[in-house]
Structures are given as C-alpha cells and as structure tokens.
Amino acid sequence: MNSSLNDKASRQVPGVRLGTARAGIKRADRDDLLVIEATEGSACAAVFTRNAFCAAPVIVAREHLLALSQGLGPAGFAERSDVASGEPETARPRWLLVNSGNANAGTGSRGLEDARFTCRTLAEQVGGHPEQVLPFSTGIIGEYLPVNKIAAALPDALEALDEEGWEKAACAIMTTDTRPKLATRTLEIGGQRITLIGIAKGSGMIHPDMATMLAFIATDARIEPASLQDCLADAVDRTFNCITVDGDTSTNDACVLIASGVSKAPELKRDSADFPVFAEALREVCGALAEAIVRDGEGATKLIRIVVEEARDPAEARAVAKTIAHSPLVKTAFFASDPNWGRILAAVGRAGCAGLAIDRVSIWLGEVLIVEHGGRAAGYTEAQGTEVMARDDILVRVALGRGTAVQTVLTCDLSYDYVRINAEYRT
C-alpha cells in the first residue's frame, strides 16, 4: 500500500469534491466552511459521539441518515426510480456541510432548526433534498449558529468544489489545532487502483468514544452500505476510540466514510477476498489521523503509547491502558520528564482488575524494565528512567500476567499550555 500525496492521483478521490469558503463565524481571515459533495449513488457510513448532550448537527445528521435508510424523508420523497436497472433504490446522502468556530451545541430547539435551515439552504442551491445533506459543526458550545453568515458563504464553497480540495478542507475544519491532519492510502483490487483519503480535526476534549473531533474519509471503492458501516465502526473502535488527550468526550464528534463507487474494481462485500485488504487500509488511514490528533494535543510536547498485554480480555486491557492515559499525575510526570514510575504503578492498581496478582505484573518505560515481582525492578536505575522520559515519543508497556489480550492507547503529556489554551478559549 502506498501513502504518498506527491502524485496527482493520490490527492483526489474520483467522485468526491470539496470546496471551502470564509463565512467569518469566529475569524474573518481563514476558511471556516466546508462542503463535501459525493457523486450520485455514493454509499455513506457514519459514527457519532456517545455524549448524551450531543449537538444539534449530530441529531439532525442521525435523523437524515435514518430517514434515507428507510426510504422516506420528512420532505416526502420515498424512493428513486431513475436508476438504470429500473429497480427502486433508497436515496443516499450527497453532501456534507461542515463549519468550524461554532459547535451549535447546548442550543436547544433553535439549534436544531438552525442546523435544518443550513441543510435546506444548501439543498436548494444544489437541487437536492435537505435529508441528503448531513451537517457537522465544531467550536464554541452554547452559542447560536450564525446561519446567515453560512448561507451567504455557501455559493463560494460550491464554486470552489474540486476533487483536489483535501488540503484546504483539512485547514477549514481546524479550531485549536496547530496544523491540518490528512492521511491517504492507495491499494490495488482486481487490477484497479483504489484511493482512500481522510482529514480530521481535533486537539483538545479528546477521549475514547471519540472526541471533539471530526473526521471525513472518502474512497472510490464500490462497497455495499452495510459492509461500509461495519468496516468504519471497526476502524473507529481500533483507532479514534483508543486515543485520549484530556479525558473529555465531546458533544459534536463524528466520523464519516463516503464510498463514491466510481472505481472499476470489483464490488467489495464482507465475503470478498479483498475486503480485509480494504479494511486494513481504512484502519491505517484512521490510525494515522488518530495519532496526528494526539501529537497535536493542546499544549502537548510528547506522544505516549501505552501497550497493555497479557490481560484476561480486551476490555480489561483497554481499561488499564485508559486509566494510565487519563491520570493527570502520570501525564504531568511525562511533561516534566520525571521518571516517577510509582504513578504508573498506582494507575494499574486502581484500574479495576479483579484478583490482580501484583507479583505477576511487569512494567517497562521504553526498553527499560522498571517494575517486576510487585516492586521496583532489581536492575532499574533513575538515570535509565530519566533518559526514556526525555524522549518525544515514549512507550509504556504493562504485562498483567493474566491472559493473552493486548490493547494500545495513545495519549500525550499535560503541560502548562493546556491550561492556558483552555482558560483562554473563549477570549
């Protein structure tokens, strides 16, 4: 598989166009509005936040997907009968409408109407149904969406639609991010080249069950919608749901996968021989974006990779890894390059492993064994720990001695700048 963006073919997904514009939602000097257009007949899969206070665009996007899946939307359309075969086909999403600078969360019934208004406005301009538009927002919570600014900027975004618009799109969805996040993979199926490209935003309020992140991925592969949803759900669970910056789950996060289906490669189904190859490429794109989010964590100076192995089951492994990753004491020790390994030990001990035999637990910092047989490793020295903690990328490995399950979670350190960024977020 190739991951280069140097050649022109790797910078575009046939059948998917992106356009950005400046709506002036929070700042007037940068693009903050994005429209993604998928060709007729494209398949779409999506995963959303599990926060009970989910934002208005999340609610509306779910409503539209449900309406389309049932073949009947609020606008009264039922099924398309204009497909070549003459067989009816349920209408599918065609446009994603994304804004940064305002989350449209905590805005009650007006927020819902504002989200629906933007969908109707875009649908009117492109000749589609409002239910074929999925809205997404990111930014400040509790303020009403400036719908008039968005409506005024939509013609510019539509005029800018381009299959090579990925890099501009990655910049337009940023909030506290310090750099755009983009990943690509190409693979060959049935002698035909298939491309996957993804963009994401996220820097703070990052926690498993997704985060204050938006991710949009597209491919020209032909794949049935049910298989596409399964593939995305699995990729998200293994990547975006295994990162944390600060332990806060957002109101707005979403990950969407569009398959334009214009490739001449054979259609992919669950039982296709090439389905695992495609699934692995999707996990790689999601994994690269997830890691980029953690590396760009608010105020972060280090990437921490926590691997828990020899757990009884995957849930136990994940619980231990997340307990370590969420600990402010552990994270501040990493920022200070302080090999205070007792904080890691304490986190393992409070992770809820019933009947944990501490004399069977081993912990490493990088390649250095720091804990064995229930206490400090005999050969460990403070100088060894200090050398590892000074690195930009640090591996923490924990062996529980209870089974064969393994889980990796990515996190970052907690610095002074994290407090400053979040204290000044609204000012």
**Residues annotated catalytic, as ranges:** 212
Q: How far apart are CA 395 and CA 384, in angstroms?
A: 14
395 sits in which H/E element: strand 393-399
The pairing of beta strand 303-311 with beta strand 254-259: unpaired
Q: Which two tokens stand for residue 116?
A: 């629906």
Three-class SS state of 257: strand
**Is residue 199 a contact partner of residue 181, using CB atoms and an 8 Å limit?**
yes
Contact between 311 and 264 under an 8 Å Cβ cutoff? The reply is no
**Residue 274 structure tokens:** 């090439």
Query: Angle 225-238/275-295 helices, nearest 10 degrees?
Result: 40
Which stretches does DSSP call E strand in 103-232? 133-140, 181-189, 192-201, 214-219
Sign of the CA dihedral 366, 404, 286, 184?
Answer: positive
